[in-house]
Amino acid sequence: MKLSFFMMPLHSMNRDYHTTLMEDVESVVLADKLGFEEVWIGEHYTCTIEQVSSPLLFLAHIASKTKNIKLGTGVIPLPLYHPVMLSSHIALLDHLTEGRLILGVGTGALGSDFEAFGIPNANRPEMMMDSLDIMLKIWASSAPYEIKGKYWNVTLKDKVWPDLGVGELPKPYQLPHPPLALSVSSPNSNSIRVAAQRNMMPISANFVASWVVKTHWATYADEMQKLGKVPDGGNWRVARSIFVADTDAAAEAYVQTPQGAYDWYYDYMFQVYKRLGAAALLAPTPDTPESTITHQMVRDSFVIYGSPETVARKILALREEVGPFERLLMTAHDGKDKAIMHKSMELLAKKVMPMVNAKLGARTPEMAR
């Protein structure tokens, strides 16, 4: 199992924008030094706790500060972009990073973003697929262009002057395009069927219960079998909130600190889901009555915390429960307690993952898949 890093990012309310951005950069640089395989950066416009408005800009900034870590967009909301603009920006960043880019895409999660852009009632799934199809055609073809979509058209034929280099749209460094990933969060998500159909890497979100994540693998495997393909856990990424300390007691005390990094986050997410009428997705089990759910219940069931030995055991138990994922995404939380959070990252990379992989390596191939 390989370890990666997922940043929405997440910061407590009313913290200084510049300070938290610099914390994010520092955390990614540390992840690279610790051997994390990938970092995934989200995109949001109208939310102060999730404040990276362009993962492409953020990744371009940290590319020169890191050496090996792959740089993933987690995710770009395709309905908010014209495909010509986005395909060109992606191609540029892929060249600047010399092929370290992974393109994670999605429909967009924040209704407030779409309201701000003037399309509050947009059919986001349709727009996402339309945009993706157009970008793939741009990368696979050359001028002149005549690409018809449902929401966008790309026509470039009258001003194509090959002798002057005019009219051609840029191609990525990785051909035919960077690896593609798709985020999934709802139970039995149709998006994960799309991921199977399109050879995209599915990413299960950290802010849904493990029983929801379990439906993701079942749905993905079902769709792959329908396509006559063998489902491979190596393509599946599962994001979770993880906190590691020297002892179980120290980890529990930190995670359960009122309005601490984890307590605040799950209180926040609980309030968001309640307003959306979707609090049931945070239930620890499918049959937990919605009226009994509290943010403390969500926090304690969603966060994998403890000593290195305990966290290794919990990660293996999660894998047994949900399915054979081979990429674990540690979710970044507010970094105000920088030393504590960085130590957690170091313990996870240096102590927990070797124990996890030692256990997985001891199993038969059938058990490990």
Domain ranges of the chain: 2-74+179-249+304-363
257-263, long-range: CB < 8 A, 24+ apart: 259/12, 261/12, 261/333, 261/334, 261/335, 261/336, 261/337, 261/341, 262/299, 262/303, 262/305, 262/333, 263/295, 263/296, 263/299
Report pLDDT for 363.
Answer: 53
Q: Which of 47, 108, 36, 107 is nearest to 72 (CA)?
A: 36
- Distance separating alpha carbons of residues 362 and 117, to the nearest angstrom: 52
- The dotted CATH code for 2-74+179-249+304-363 is 3.20.20.30
Report pLDDT for 364.
Answer: 36
Report pLDDT for 56.
Answer: 98
Q: What is the pTM of this model?
A: 0.94
Length of the chain: 369
Query: What does each of the 369 residues of the chain score in pLDDT, given as a tens digit?
Result: 999 999 998 898 889 999 999 999 999 999 999 999 999 999 999 998 888 999 999 999 999 999 999 999 999 999 999 999 999 999 999 999 999 999 999 999 889 999 999 999 999 999 999 999 999 999 999 999 999 999 999 999 999 999 999 999 999 999 999 999 999 999 999 999 999 999 999 999 998 999 999 999 999 999 999 999 999 999 999 999 999 999 999 999 999 999 999 999 999 999 999 998 989 889 999 999 999 999 999 999 999 999 999 999 999 999 999 999 999 999 999 988 999 999 999 999 999 999 999 999 965 333 333
194: CB partners within 8 A, 6+ apart? 129, 182, 200
Hey, CA dihedral for 23, 309, 35, 104, is it positive or negative?
negative
